[in-house]
Structure formats: structure tokens, C-alpha cells
Amino acid sequence: MTYFIKQRVFHCSLLLLLTSLVMACDNAKQQPQTSSNSSVSMGKLLGSDDNNQLYHQVLPTTVLTFPDDHQAHNGFRIEWWYITANLTTDAGEQVGIQWTQFRSALSAPDNQPSSTSDSKWATNQLYMAHVALTSKNKHYKAEKFARAHPEFAGVSANPFAVYLDNWQWQTSQASPFPATLTVTDALFGYQLSLDSQHPWQLQGEQGFSIKSRDGQVASHYYSQPYIDVNGTITREGKTENVTGKAWLDREWSSQLLTKSQQGWDWFSIRLDTNTTLMIFRLRGQTETDNFYSARVMLSDGTGRNFTSGSHPNEISMKPVSWHKIKDKSYPVSWQIDIPSEQIHITTDALNPNSEMPLSTPYWEGPIDFKGSHEGMGYMELTGY
């Protein structure tokens, strides 16, 4: 979820933020910080400098285990818990929600505070959360930061929870579902019940997801595309019932992208009741530098993988139309084809103005699609 500026600018900005939090907490409890549209780039959370080797590394031999891997992996540089949902109100209105909590290690594991410290503020972990509620004519969004602390921001094991202030994914057990997702902000919010009994989808090769043509950059990545949702949304004081489907992505790494990659275009697509599609394009300097990856997933946990390396003629993603927001143009309609799966669809944004103009500007919002299949999904566009 990012576009790229200089690595040094990012870390200086985060260190300044962290310093301000430390000063605020010397004699009082920390309050989570809500940001304005600043120049900090979330892209540098992904790491692409000479310090990467000081952090834990993504390895193809790593076996993902649950519920352990639902927790934070503090030795890696960047990590996120990410939920989107396509929902329908009682009146038939289509809406979408986004909730993402990021964790960033501000120093390598060897430089982390001593475990013998009696201060709960002795941490090098910073959390950031993004939330949004989107309809055809309105896009609400907000952001918060906080240092890791049991009372303010973090991830807990039993019961499982991911939280930053009053933006919380909470359960009453060690597994992530059933759960309640709660967000309260000044103009909008939602309280949603989430449940899934389906197997986890391990992206790439058993959760080892390649992010470059040479295979040298990767993440650990798993998903749950089959989540039932019901609950309420609130917009400017008006609360409405909603039902629908949600999608969870979990990802961590110490370097997700190469220095030459500009950003990515990512889709979660619900083809039918039992079939979903995750597909993305990582953009290089030229078309030949682009890297494509997709997984067609079934509700029983099985799936089929495609990359531009292993299946060069089996993935096609082409922008159809663009939408300008201030000084940026975003491709908000796409043609997506996977011929061997008989997938030929055209996607359209529910609301073309779904930019997230936060500490890192990017585009994120619900989509619908038609063609060989019809349905709904979510799109994320970064680096524009």
C-alpha cells in the first residue's frame, strides 16, 4: 500500500513521530495520534535499503502455522492486518469498508529495547491504522498512529485482538473468527460481526509470495476470502444495518519491493459463491519490468497460482479508463483476463474518488465487474 520517496525521509519522519510520542509519555499516558495529510510515505515501511539484512528474512522453507502466525512478527520490518468488505444496506445501497493496521519495526531486532525493561513504552514497534467507508457518492477516511503498548496499540493472542485505540478487531478466543470489527471516528464508523469456517488460503507457494521477476523479493502472505458479515455502519449520525462478505489479507516482510518498482495495482474479486481471485501487478520502469501474480481460490482452501514468470501468457491486466484527483490520475477501470480459467472481466470503481489522502496517498475502494463473471470486490492502487 504505497508509493515511494527517499528511504531517509521516511525513517526521519517516523523517528520524529516516535520522539514526540516518547516526550508525550514521559509523565502521562500516550494518546493515539490522528494525522493530517503529511508527506510521510508509507512506502518506506516496506523497506528497500542496505539495512534489510539486519531484520528477519522471508524464506521459502518457512511453514506458516496457526494461530501463531496471526500474531505480530516483530523481527520483520513491516506487517499488516487488512480487512475489506462489500456490504449492502437494508435499502439496497452498495457500500464498502476498509480497515488496515500496520506494524513497523523502527530498528533491527538486535537493537530492540531490553526485555528486562519494566517500562511498557520500551518498544521499537510503531502501529498505524487506516479506515474507510465508501459509497457511490461519498468516501470517508481516517488514520491513526500509536507506539505499541498493551493499552493503546498492538496484537494480543488469547483472546485474539488487533487494536489501535477505539479501532479494534476483537474476539473471545485464540482464533481470528468469530470476531467483531469496530471503528468509531468523527463522521463515520462501523460495528461488524465477522465469521468464517473456511481454510486459510496460502498465497504463492505455501505462503511464500514472490514480488519480483527475479524472485529475490518476497513476503509471507495468507488470506481468508470467505468471511460472512453483518452489523451496522454509521454516517454522520445515521446508523444502518448491513450484510455482505469480507476479505482478510495478512502479510509481512523486511523488503516487499525492489528499489525500481513504482507501486502496485491489487484486486480482490469474488467470482461466485465458492470462487475468488487475488491478482496484482507490481509496476517497474517499463512494461517488461512489470511483475504479475494471481491466485484463483476455492472455498475448500485449494487454489491455482499464476505468475508472469511461470505463466507469461496467462495473466493480463490493462487499464481501461483513468480518473484525475488533483494532481494524480488513477486507473479506475480495468480489463482482467486469465484465459485458462475462462476469466474475462471488466472492473469499475463504485466511487472513482476513493483516494486515501493520508500520510501516504493511495487509492482504495470497492469495485464491481462484469463479463465472464459478475460481482463485487476491492481495488488498491499505489504509486501514482
Q: Is the Cβ–Cβ distance between 89 and 234 less than 8 Å?
A: no
Short-list 3, 38, 92, CA closest to 330: 3
Q: Please give the pLDDT value at position 109.
A: 84
27 pLDDT higher than 80 = no
Q: Please give the pLDDT value at position 121.
A: 61
Per-residue model confidence as pLDDT tens digits over 255-292: 888 888 889 999 999 999 999 999 999 998 888 889 99
223 pLDDT higher than 60 = yes
Q: Please give the pLDDT value at position 31.
A: 53
Per-residue model confidence as pLDDT tens digits over 351-362: 999 999 998 899
Banded model confidence at residue 108, pLDDT cuts 50, 70, 90? confident
Q: Please give the pLDDT value at position 33.
A: 56
How far is residue 166's CA from residue 181's CA, in Å, rounded to a whole number?
10
Per-residue model confidence as pLDDT tens digits over 170-189: 999 999 999 999 999 999 99
| Sign of the torsion angle spanned by Cα atoms 282, 383, 365, 161 | positive
How far is residue 308's CA from residue 282's CA, in Å, rounded to a whole number?
11
Banded model confidence at residue 153, pLDDT cuts 50, 70, 90? very high
Banded model confidence at residue 5, pLDDT cuts 50, 70, 90? very low
Classify strands 139-147 and 33-34 as parallel, antiparallel or unpaired. antiparallel
35 pLDDT higher than 70 = no
Q: Please give the pLDDT value at position 38.
A: 40
Q: Please give the pLDDT value at position 114.
A: 55
How far is residue 209's CA from residue 148's CA, in Å, rounded to a whole number?
27
Average pLDDT over residues 62-85: 97
Helix (H, G, I), strand (E, B) or coil at 52: helix
Between 9 and 116, the more confident residue is 116
How far is residue 226's CA from residue 280's CA, in Å, rounded to a whole number?
19
C-alpha cell at 186: 468523527
Q: What is the mean pLDDT of the chain?
A: 87
Query: What residue ranges do the domains of the chain occupy?
Result: 7-381
Short-list 43, 45, 40, 112, CA closest to 74: 112
Amino acid type, 77: R
Place of cell 513476503: 219
Does CATH number 3.50.50.60 belong to domain 7-381?
Answer: no
The number of beta carbons lying within 10 Å of the beta carbon of residue 335 is 15
Banded model confidence at residue 133, pLDDT cuts 50, 70, 90? very high
User: Which residues, listed in sequence order, are joined to residue 247 by a DSSP beta bridge?
Assistant: 84
The half-sphere exposure of 99 on its side-chain side, counting CA atoms within 13 A, is 26
C-alpha cell at 290: 512489470
Predicted model pTM: 0.88
**In this prediction, what percent of the chain has a pLDDT beyond 70?**
84
How far is residue 78's CA from residue 215's CA, in Å, rounded to a whole number?
19
2 pLDDT higher than 50 = no
Average pLDDT over residues 313-317: 93
How far is residue 314's CA from residue 255's CA, in Å, rounded to a whole number?
27
The half-sphere exposure of 163 on its side-chain side, counting CA atoms within 13 A, is 18
Per-residue model confidence as pLDDT tens digits over 321-344: 999 999 999 999 999 999 999 999
Q: How far is CA 340 from CA 201, 253, 314, in A?
A: 21, 31, 7
Residue 17: φ, ψ to 5°: -60, -45
C-alpha cell at 118: 519494566
How far is residue 197's CA from residue 69's CA, in Å, rounded to a whole number?
17
Q: Please give the pLDDT value at position 50.
A: 67
Instruction: State the DSSP code for 178.
Output: S
Helix (H, G, I), strand (E, B) or coil at 19: helix
Helix (H, G, I), strand (E, B) or coil at 174: coil
| Sign of the torsion angle spanned by Cα atoms 346, 4, 221, 62 | positive
Amino acid type, 345: I
Alpha carbon 33 to its chain's center: 20
Q: How far is CA 57 from CA 31, 220, 380, in A?
A: 33, 10, 26
User: Which residues, listed in sequence order, are joined to residue 205 by a DSSP beta bridge?
Assistant: 208
| Sign of the torsion angle spanned by Cα atoms 105, 109, 113, 114 | positive
How far is residue 147's CA from residue 154's CA, in Å, rounded to a whole number?
8
